[in-house]
Structure 1
Amino acid sequence: MTSLMLRGSCAALALIAATPALAQTPSADELAALVKAQAAEIASLKARLDKIEGQAVAQAAAPGPAPQVAQQQATPPLVVTPFAPQIVPPGPADIDVGQARAIAREVGVKTEWGAGLPVFRSADGVFTYKPRGRILVDVSSTMGSDYKGRNTTTTGMRALRLGLEGGVGPHFFYQFESDFSENEVDIVTAFLGWRNRLSGKVDYDIRVGHLFNDRAFEGSTGSDSTPFLERSTVSTAIIPQRGFYGIGIMGRMFGPNWHASVSVTGDRIDGQQATNDSRTASFRAHWNPIKTDRSLLHVGAWGFDEALSAAATSLTRSTVIGGRFNGAVRVSTGELLGGRSTTGYGAELGGYSGSLWVMGEAGRRVARLTGDRPNFESKAWSVSTGFFLTGELPPYNPRLGSFGQPNVLRPTFDGGPGAIELTARYENLDYTDLVLGGDGWAATVGVNWYLNSFTRLQLNGIHWRTDNRAGAFTGSDDGQTVSARVGVTF
């Protein structure tokens, strides 16, 4: 506008210079006429300028492609996707190196609310940290047994955990959790790890510390993600003598539709160093030969070999068959002493199509005994299934070949119905290779109601049968157990 006004003033001056009479001795009337003419020209130029500016504003407000300069400066938002859309996105200790690098490229301090608790990230993207927790409250009631001591109602905390996980840069990560469910401190997961990529499609991680087994489908699934209140007999009976945890090292490799792990571990955290630890070498692998947006086939195999410590030669085992919180409903081996080593192995076959999933597992454990006594063999198998009435896909994690927490489509806290899942399972356990060994089976039906992705209610009805040859409850016996759980994971 200023340039146009200057042009108007110059034109007026030029008009004065071009009129010699006016330039020499202009009269008052002539000067007034000139000023009036100049003002009119300036007003005309201003009107034209206002019209041009109005058109520019209208064009800027109208929808259309952004200017080329803006397109060059714009930065697309970072989206860190989960390994599968039907499960809750993994935390800092479970993401792959590609996701960790993407997070490290973010700028600015961030606090993001995930499944229940926030994830904190430093301004340079180097440090990540997330609190962890798990509260699982159970009640169980058994009836119908021929033994009064088995017809009990009990309560318990399946898990009461607090912990943390995090990472430094794209490669280093850690996780720590303690459990208080038995009214005492029990360290469960506690490890340091390193991850990297071998190629565009294959990555790996290495973990050192107190490690959770990668063994069997339900045995590799966390207690907060199992579709039933208790894992199947394959996971609870075909197991190293030390249990689900051991201190050692584990390497894992991941491809587009498979994973494999190898570990060497000693005993659990126990504070006793007077004798050698037992040594357990184990492996597990899974493969998804069919994998689409709404269907998947799972094939898995696993095994372990265990050299027993001199302090762990007792192989006596009593395995729950009617739920975790009735200790009287078990299948027993009878007293079994003098173990030298054990070897276990198993297979997994299942998958899902739409909201329906099916999984079959079988396992066998061979215990080698001292002296000339023959080996003792334990055998277990199970078939389970589930269906989501509300349309969710089963919470299968294709990276690990196990179940995770479901991504609920319409949480109850947002006015939706949550996710409702119907489940059923048959499981069998056989210790009869021993003279005093028993056997048993259980059939379970259940319903899971996920209020959101980290809060759920579970109800299981179990019909069980045992035939023990030793212990307080011998002979054939059957009954029913009803169990319920309220669970929160964050």
Structure 2
Amino acid sequence: MRVLVGGLLVASAPVLAREPGSNEVTDEARRAEIDALRARLEALEKRQARDHEELEEVRAVMAPIAPQLVPPGPATAPVDTARAVAVPVPGAKATDVQVEWGAGAPIFRSGDGVFSFKPRGRILLDVSSSGGSAYQARNLTTTGSRALRLGIEGGVGPHLFYQFESDFAENGVDVVTAFLGWRHKVLGLDYDIRIGNLFNDRGLEGSTGSDSTPFAERTVVGTAIIPQRGFYGIGAQGRLFGPNWHASLTLSGDDVDSAYAVNDSRTVLARAHWNPVKTDATVVHVGAWGFDEKLSSAAGTVTRNTVIGGRFNGGLRVSTGALTGATGDTGYGAELGGYWRALWAMAELGRREVRLAGQRDFLSDAWSVSAGGFVTGETPPYNPRFGNFTQPRVSRSILDGGMGAVELTARYERLAFTQESRLGEGWAATVGVNWYLNSFTRLMLNGIHWHTDNRGGDFTGGDDGETVTLRAQVSY
């Protein structure tokens, strides 16, 4: 600042006041000019001090609300721009744009740090081949897109955030995530509130995105113990976060549709998870969840055909046969697991009870045990903030000349549908390998041995076979 003033004095010297007709500067004029420069210097110093204080206040407010661009912890998801807040650059204008590269996509921010914006995308392409079934119609080789998503996310200031995504899989257009949110602190704890079309917070894999599950398909707990409306519903959700736990409560209707002639179903869903042990090398996960759904008159049919050996074989399902007259349902489940260094293990179980007018309740029971480990030494991709799986932090990306990350997985799962008697049941044993080329690109190979025993439909009685699924994915 003093150097600046010196420069001002030198620059001002030629224009100091002079006596008319004289080339000499009077002492009085010189003193007046110096006094004016000193006044300007004091004003500049006061402004600099005030700007510094305001910047420190902004930093103090933002720091506890929004974490760094890469949240701390052994495993992290791709950058969440709605949660990441840039510290304003002194002198930057609101119209200036800062650009940085996140996990597979650019992140744009206004120069003053108020606005952020990031494109989102998800491409999951599968090849599936089944054989060994006693029914030739089940021995199929097919291709499909598990997800073809495009969307945006962003934030306005430290509190307001939003997200929107559409899915184009199977040549259709579906609105999936679409919400407006607000985050802050209460009693020293982080919280957020979201309003819109919301993804379920339900179970470990039931609350994990399709691009982050360790297997090509979620467990039967995640696919069968579910509200009739599915994975999404329009409503409101509140979440509260502690240092090693979180809890959520959701009230929603149906997902995005055009059925406006009847009432929506109403679903209340709650979940909580806790990490009683949480270190850099070890995490223990405990969770519980439940929902209650009052069904719309338009949703009285609750027939289930649940995936057991792969999504892209339409005949390979555990089926109930026709079930009508449903008025509501209740579901609940529990989770237990964790990781140690590069190894992880998780177990889930759940039950769904559907109330049928004039009939016994229809019951769905499911459980699964799964495990895995990174032969390349990465920490398992578990997110302790939300209690779900995410994408791993790859130590040696192929983009940097490394081999990426290699994970071996195994799972056993079982599902049974019951009313007055057993309607259908099945189980599957899966082994797999995941090769993460970098933090947002993955190749998957799953080998599944499955068994079904359906009492109705086209494929009745006991049947066994094998399915091999190969997936290529990019997610950002």
Change (3 A) 1:106 1:353: farther
The root-mean-square deviation of aligned C-alpha atoms, in Å, is 1.8
Q: 1:324-375 CA distances to partner (integer Å, 9 max, x unpaired)?
A: 111111101111000010000000000000000000000000111112x111
Could you say which residue in structure 2 is the equivalent of 1:328?
A: 315
Could you say which residue in structure 1 is the equivalent of 2:369?
A: 383
- 1:411 CA drift (Å): 0.4
- 1:79 CA drift (Å): 5.4
Change (3 A) 1:232 1:79: closer
Task: Tell me, in whole angstroms, the C-alpha distance in 2 between the residues paired with 1:469 and 1:189.
Answer: 37
- 1:184 CA drift (Å): 1.4
Decide which of 370, 374, 393 is 2:357's aligned counterpart.
370
Mean alpha-carbon deviation: is it higher for 433-442 or for 327-336?
A: 433-442
Does 1:88 pair with 2:77? yes
Could you say which residue in structure 1 is the equivalent of 2:63?
A: none
Could you say which residue in structure 1 is the equivalent of 2:173?
A: 185
Does 1:275 pair with 2:262? yes
Task: Tell me, in whole angstroms, the C-alpha distance in 2 between the residues paired with 1:267 and 1:217.
Answer: 22
Task: Tell me, in whole angstroms, the C-alpha distance in 2 between the residues paired with 1:474 and 1:431.
Answer: 14
Decide which of 170, 181, 202 is 1:215's aligned counterpart.
202
2:430 maps to a residue whose letter is: T
Unaligned runs of 5+ in 1: 1-71
Decide which of 152, 159, 177 is 2:147's aligned counterpart.
159
Change (3 A) 1:153 1:205: same
- 1:436 CA drift (Å): 6.3
Residue pair 1:83, 1:397 contacting (<8 A) in 2 also: no
Could you say which residue in structure 1 is the equivalent of 2:46?
A: none
Q: Secondary structure at the match of 1:413?
A: helix
Q: TM-score, normalised by structure 1?
A: 0.81
Q: 1:35-70 CA distances to partner (integer Å, 9 max, x unpaired)?
A: xxxxxxxxxxxxxxxxxxxxxxxxxxxxxxxxxxxx
Task: Tell me, in whole angstroms, the C-alpha distance in 2 between the residues paired with 1:159 and 1:82.
Answer: 26
Does 1:338 pair with 2:325? yes
Task: Tell me, in whole angstroms, the C-alpha distance in 2 between the residues paired with 1:273 and 1:79.
Answer: 43
Task: Tell me, in whole angstroms, the C-alpha distance in 1 between the residues paired with 2:379 and 2:450.
Answer: 30
Q: Secondary structure at the match of 1:416?
A: coil
Task: Tell me, in whole angstroms, the C-alpha distance in 1 between the residues paired with 2:420 and 2:212.
Answer: 34
Q: Secondary structure at the match of 2:222?
A: helix
Could you say which residue in structure 1 is the equivalent of 2:161?
A: 173
Residue pair 1:333, 1:434 contacting (<8 A) in 2 also: no
Change (3 A) 1:179 1:79: closer
Q: TM-score, normalised by structure 2?
A: 0.84
Decide which of 329, 343, 349 is 2:336's aligned counterpart.
349
Does 1:430 pair with 2:430? no
Task: Tell me, in whole angstroms, the C-alpha distance in 2 between the residues paired with 1:450 and 1:437.
Answer: 40
Q: Secondary structure at the match of 1:236?
A: helix
Q: Secondary structure at the match of 1:228?
A: coil
1:463 maps to a residue whose letter is: H
- 1:92 CA drift (Å): 1.8
Could you say which residue in structure 2 is the equivalent of 1:285?
A: 272
Does 1:142 pair with 2:162? no
Residue pair 1:204, 1:252 contacting (<8 A) in 2 also: yes
Does 1:413 pair with 2:399? yes
Matches within 5 A, 1:1-400: 80-93=69-82, 95=83, 99-100=84-85, 103-107=86-90, 108=92, 109-200=97-188, 202-371=189-358, 373-400=359-386
Unaligned runs of 5+ in 2: 1-51, 60-66
Matches within 5 A, 1:472-483: 472-483=458-469
1:84 maps to a residue whose letter is: G
Q: Secondary structure at the match of 1:425?
A: strand
Q: Secondary structure at the match of 2:71?
A: coil
Mean alpha-carbon deviation: is it higher for 105-114 or for 123-132?
A: 105-114
Task: Tell me, in whole angstroms, the C-alpha distance in 2 between the residues paired with 1:376 and 1:472.
Answer: 21
2:412 maps to a residue whose letter is: Y
1:269 maps to a residue whose letter is: V
1:237 maps to a residue whose letter is: A
Q: How many residues get paired?
A: 410
Which aligned runs of 4 or more in structure 1 are off by greater than 6 angstroms? none
- 1:106 CA drift (Å): 4.3
1:218 maps to a residue whose letter is: E
Could you say which residue in structure 1 is the equivalent of 2:429?
A: 443
Q: 1:249-278 CA distances to partner (integer Å, 9 max, x unpaired)?
A: 000000100000000000011111100000
Task: Tell me, in whole angstroms, the C-alpha distance in 2 between the residues paired with 1:452 and 1:295.
Answer: 23
Change (3 A) 1:452 1:418: same
Residue pair 1:446, 1:460 contacting (<8 A) in 2 also: yes
Task: Tell me, in whole angstroms, the C-alpha distance in 1 between the residues paired with 2:335 and 2:225.
Answer: 13
Task: Tell me, in whole angstroms, the C-alpha distance in 2 between the residues paired with 1:425 and 1:436.
Answer: 24
Task: Tell me, in whole angstroms, the C-alpha distance in 2 between the residues paired with 1:112 and 1:90.
Answer: 11
1:358 maps to a residue whose letter is: A
1:340 maps to a residue whose letter is: T
Q: 1:136-168 CA distances to partner (integer Å, 9 max, x unpaired)?
A: 000000000000000000000000000000000
- 1:80 CA drift (Å): 3.7
Change (3 A) 1:124 1:156: same
Change (3 A) 1:434 1:163: farther
Could you say which residue in structure 2 is the equivalent of 1:32?
A: none
Q: Secondary structure at the match of 1:240?
A: coil
Identity of aligned residues (%): 65
Q: Secondary structure at the match of 1:182?
A: helix
- 1:288 CA drift (Å): 0.1
Could you say which residue in structure 2 is the equivalent of 1:40?
A: none
- 1:89 CA drift (Å): 4.5
